[in-house]
């Protein structure tokens, strides 16, 4: 067993624990987990839950005899979400707080800051934040899509030191345990690389050993930002007893970096890039060696279509060097690329500042 300590954790609980028979909420697996949460809080630790199960919990209430449509699933989520919250509330004497997030909310700086502030207030007031994706409004490309990755984003926003993924398997195995009884549990992973992704069926594959792929993606996001991640079997009460004793029965993914500042994390992991700016050699040196902002004079080409405030990649030749928030739209940049900052106003008729991407809004990748 591995020794395990933490102070602020995001605990992700999957649908198989909340609604094990796939049609309604159940307390079957939640009692030991709830006891673990209460006892941890009594020890002065902080907990944020990311709970799945709204669709599964609502499934029994919307009768369909075919594969549910998107709208039907959204209706299930709307019904199931309240049941899921009520289910959790039964276990606790302190208030449970609902946060429903979409990819967009994590992507927008203002909303990101609001989420962060709300989480902080909730923890300050001893409430238990319970996060889920806002399934009724988010579809496909607007979605984070799975709660493992949502939990990773939540851990980044909340500046947690730990992500605990409660699954229905014991952890990561060196072979598929369903097919091979000889498979061994991997107790600790130093670094998540291709060989680790290969155990889940490969990074580009959807066929994982029990949804392991998204768990590894989540673990990668977190460990790269200094957040230790564990996968445990949430169906086993003894797992939580051991955790309370500081012992881990499961797989530990060790952090590979120190925790960066939250803005850097948000820029690097949460934000999708809407375009790319190709820069010249002078701008490359200024950005990499002098910590400079990107000025229009250093720009060679712009690709993609974006508005001010969106994220763009900054590349030299074929290499992406940085990611940052652009102050100008792609249309504006086409007109000012290669020009001096002092010319911006005369070319566009206005200026948002001399930099295209300010250093404070940039992170090297």
Among 36-44, 52-60, 177-185, 230-238, the segment contacting ligand GLU (CB under 6 A): 52-60
Q: Does 105 bind ligand GLU (CB under 6 A)?
A: no
Q: Does 15 bind ligand GLU (CB under 6 A)?
A: yes
Among 51-59, 216-224, 230-238, 322-330, the segment contacting ligand GLU (CB under 6 A): 51-59
Q: C-beta of 135: minimal distance to ligand GLU in Å?
A: 5
Q: C-beta of 217: minimal distance to ligand GLU in Å?
A: 12
Nearer to ligand GLU, 229 or 313 (CB): 229
Nearer to ligand GLU, 19 or 302 (CB): 19
Q: Does 225 bind ligand GLU (CB under 6 A)?
A: no
At how many degrees (to 10) do helices 30-42 and 70-89 cross? 50
Q: How distant, in Å, are the alpha carbons of 39, 47, 187, 242, 245 from that of 3? A: 18, 19, 11, 10, 9
Q: Does 83 bind ligand GLU (CB under 6 A)?
A: no
Residue 343 has, within 13 A of its CA and on its CB side, a CA count of 12
Q: Does 234 bind ligand GLU (CB under 6 A)?
A: no
Q: C-beta of 132: minimal distance to ligand GLU in Å?
A: 5
Query: Is there a contact between 277 and 297 (Cβ–Cβ < 8 Å)?
Result: no
Nearer to ligand GLU, 28 or 191 (CB): 28
How far apart are the two ends of the chain, measured CA to CA in Å?
A: 35
Nearer to ligand GLU, 154 or 297 (CB): 154
Residue 228 has, within 13 A of its CA and on its CB side, a CA count of 19
Nearer to ligand GLU, 133 or 332 (CB): 133
Q: Does 298 bind ligand GLU (CB under 6 A)?
A: no
Contacts of 204 (CB under 8 A, 6+ apart): none
Nearer to ligand GLU, 61 or 339 (CB): 61
Among 47-55, 157-165, 314-322, 357-365, the segment contacting ligand GLU (CB under 6 A): 47-55
Q: Does 135 bind ligand GLU (CB under 6 A)?
A: yes
- Beta bridge mates, 10: 48, 163
Q: C-beta of 240: minimal distance to ligand GLU in Å?
A: 20
- Beta bridge mates, 129: 97
Residue with tokens 């445990």: 232
Q: C-beta of 80: minimal distance to ligand GLU in Å?
A: 7
Q: Does 74 bind ligand GLU (CB under 6 A)?
A: no
Strand order in the sheet with 8-13: 96-101, 128-133, 46-51, 8-13, 162-167, 228-233, 250-253, 188-189
Nearer to ligand GLU, 172 or 322 (CB): 172
At how many degrees (to 10) do helices 212-224 and 147-157 cross? 10
Instruction: Using CB under 6 A, pick the residue from 55, 99, 314, 362 that binds ligand GLU.
Output: 55
Instruction: Using CB under 6 A, pick the residue from 101, 112, 119, 133 that binds ligand GLU.
Output: 133
Q: Does 217 bind ligand GLU (CB under 6 A)?
A: no
Q: Does 146 bind ligand GLU (CB under 6 A)?
A: yes
Q: Does 52 bind ligand GLU (CB under 6 A)?
A: yes
Q: Which helix (H) or strand (E) holds 57?
A: helix 54-59
Query: Is there a contact between 249 and 237 (Cβ–Cβ < 8 Å)?
Result: no
Nearer to ligand GLU, 132 or 225 (CB): 132
At how many degrees (to 10) do helices 30-42 and 237-244 cross? 10
Query: Is there a contact between 265 and 295 (Cβ–Cβ < 8 Å)?
Result: no
Rg of the chain over Cα atoms, rounded to whole angstroms, equals 23
Residues near ligand GLU (CB under 6 A) are: 14-15, 52-56, 132-133, 135, 146-147
């Amino acid at each position: 067993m591995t020794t395990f300590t933490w102070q602020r954790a995001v605990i992700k609980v999957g649908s198989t624990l909340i609604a094990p028979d796939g049609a309604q909420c159940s307390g079957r697996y939640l009692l030991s987990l709830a006891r673990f949460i209460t006892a941890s809080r009594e020890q002065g630790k902080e907990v944020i839950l990311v709970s799945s199960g709204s669709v599964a919990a609502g499934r029994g209430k919307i009768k369909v005899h075919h594969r549910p449509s998107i709208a039907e699933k959204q209706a299930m989520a709307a019904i199931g979400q309240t049941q899921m919250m009520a289910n959790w509330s039964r276990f606790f004497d302190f208030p449970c707080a609902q946060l429903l997030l979409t990819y967009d909310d994590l992507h927008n700086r203002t909303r990101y800051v609001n989420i962060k502030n709300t989480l902080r207030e909730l923890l300050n007031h001893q409430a238990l934040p319970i996060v889920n994706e806002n399934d009724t409004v988010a579809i496909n490309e607007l979605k984070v899509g799975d709660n493992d990755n949502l939990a990773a984003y939540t851990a980044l926003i909340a500046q947690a030191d730990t992500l605990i993924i409660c699954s229905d398997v014991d952890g990561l195995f060196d072979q598929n345990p369903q097919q091979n009884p000889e498979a061994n549990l991997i107790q600790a992973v130093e670094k998540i690389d291709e060989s680790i992704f290969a155990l889940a069926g490969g990074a580009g594959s959807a066929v994982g050993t029990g949804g392991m792929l998204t768990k590894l993606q989540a673990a990668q996001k977190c460990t790269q930002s200094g957040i230790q991640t564990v996968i445990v079997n949430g169906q086993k009460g003894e797992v939580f007893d051991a955790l309370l004793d500081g012992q881990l029965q499961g797989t530990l993914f060790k952090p590979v970096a120190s925790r960066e500042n939250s803005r850097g994390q948000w820029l690097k992991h949460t934000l999708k890039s809407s375009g790319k700016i190709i820069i010249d050699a002078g701008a490359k040196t200024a950005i990499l060696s002098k910590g400079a902002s990107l000025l229009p004079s250093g720009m060679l080409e712009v690709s993609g279509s974006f508005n001010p405030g969106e994220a763009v990649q900054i590349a030299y030749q074929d290499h992406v060097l940085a990611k940052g928030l652009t102050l100008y739209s792609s249309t504006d940049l086409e007109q000012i690329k290669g020009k001096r900052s002092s010319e911006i106003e005369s070319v566009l008729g206005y200026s948002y500042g001399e930099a295209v991407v300010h250093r404070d809004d940039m992170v090297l990748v």
